[in-house]
């Protein structure tokens, strides 16, 4: 079907999943369902991966092998920042008894998983020379930034003063050092 070759279809799939993630993180009822979190992660990821692939018709950067090297380095950096994700439930509300993580990557950025999302997405777009994929990276970042606002309100309610102090110490939500 022609729709599956349309990059904007895949962008819509990803943004719809991001909206679902906001519902899961912000709602005490929806935030309890791990399956919703996994579904939104899967859709958010799938849309951004398929969007940049050569099978999807779109303008491509006229670049040589350098795009694989530069994109690969960015992608690898993103995968390194994804390591803390193995200890959390993605796109769900905070669980009872959740503890505040402040070590490792959490010392430099409050949401290393979202930094990972931005980096690997950019890395793949550069690797496959996807102009639309590169142009949408700021959109994904903005969507994740809005999600962090909802997520941090949930964490503040759940963890209280320790989380407020942590936010003051670690200024970067997604990008290290940037209070955005």
Q: What is the mean pLDDT of the chain?
A: 84
Question: Is 131 among the domain residues?
Answer: yes
pLDDT tens digit sequence for 39-61: 777 888 888 888 899 989 999 99
User: What is the domain count for the chain?
Assistant: 1
Q: In the structure encoding, which two tokens stand for residue 50, read together?
A: 């398929």
Question: Is 178 among the domain residues?
Answer: no
pLDDT of residue 104: 86
Q: Which of 8-12, 66-70, 104-108 has the highest mean pLDDT?
A: 66-70
Question: Is 174 among the domain residues?
Answer: no
pLDDT tens digit sequence for 138-154: 998 998 898 888 888 88
Question: Is 95 among the domain residues?
Answer: yes
The answer to which of 17-21, 69-73, 88-92, 147-151 has the lowest mean pLDDT is 88-92
- The residues facing 130 across adjacent strands are 60
CATH number at 71 reads: 1.20.120
Question: Is 175 among the domain residues?
Answer: no
Q: Which domain holds residue 85?
A: 2-169
- pTM value is 0.82
pLDDT for 127 beyond 60: yes
pLDDT of residue 99: 75
- Name which residue leads in pLDDT, 170 or 27: 170
**Please, what is the Cα angle at 84 between 82 and 85, to 5 degrees?**
65
Residues 6+ apart with CB under 8 A from 40: 17, 18, 20, 21, 24, 90, 91
Considering only CA atoms, which of 170, 45, 172, 171 is closest in space to residue 115? 172
Question: Is 156 among the domain residues?
Answer: yes
Question: Is 77 among the domain residues?
Answer: yes
Structure confidence at residue 92 as a pLDDT band (50, 70, 90): low
pLDDT of residue 97: 66
Question: Is 179 among the domain residues?
Answer: no
Mean pLDDT across the stretch 104-109?
Answer: 89
């Amino acid at each position: 079907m022609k729709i599956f070759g349309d990059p904007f279809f895949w962008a819509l799939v990803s943004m719809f999943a991001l909206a679902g993630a906001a519902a899961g993180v912000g709602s005490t009822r929806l935030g309890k369902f791990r399956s919703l979190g996994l579904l939104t992660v899967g859709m958010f990821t799938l849309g951004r991966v398929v969007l940049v692939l050569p099978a999807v018709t779109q303008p491509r950067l006229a670049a040589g092998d350098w795009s694989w090297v530069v994109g690969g380095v960015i992608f690898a950096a993103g995968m390194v920042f994804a390591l803390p994700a193995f200890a959390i439930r993605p796109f769900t509300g905070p669980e009872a008894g959740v503890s505040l993580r402040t070590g490792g990557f959490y010392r430099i950025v409050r949401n290393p998983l979202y930094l990972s999302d931005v980096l690997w997405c950019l890395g793949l777009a550069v690797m496959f020379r996807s102009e639309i994929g590169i142009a949408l990276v700021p959109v994904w970042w903005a969507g994740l930034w809005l999600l962090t606002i909802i997520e941090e309100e949930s964490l503040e309610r759940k963890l209280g003063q320790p989380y407020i102090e942590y936010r003051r110490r670690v200024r970067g939500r997604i990008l290290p050092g940037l209070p955005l």
